[in-house]
Amino acid sequence: MGDIYLVFSSSTMANRIKKLAVREGIRGLRVVQTPKAISQGCSYALRCPAGTVADVERIVGEYGTEVTRRYTTSVAEDGGTQYTML
């Protein structure tokens, strides 16, 4: 399994969750504009290593916000990135 994209409605929320996660020692997170292949308008995603998702999701819940969509990544047959909604 590749990285997991946790999609938020704003860059502010994605950055806030990243900041809280880093304070708890979670590393390898990146705030990115949601890839066009999975975007439903203007949104931002927190790109997380698969092993960090449970901890990040816990922080999201504790902060009282929601992830709008979740995707996992893998390599497609053509060598590109394939996104699968969770």
* pLDDT value for 12: 95
Q: Which residues contact 57 (CB under 8 A, 6 or more apart)?
A: 6, 67
Q: Is the pLDDT of residue 76 over 80?
A: yes
Residues in the chain: 86
Structure tokens at 49: 């290593």
> Could you report the per-residue pLDDT of 29-63, keeping only the tens digit for each?
999 999 888 887 778 999 999 999 999 999 999 99
Query: For the chain, what are the domain ranges?
Result: 4-85
What are the φ/ψ torsions at residue 18 (nearest 5 degrees)? -60, -45
Q: Which CATH class is domain 4-85?
A: alpha beta
Each residue's pLDDT tens digit, 54-63? 999 999 999 9
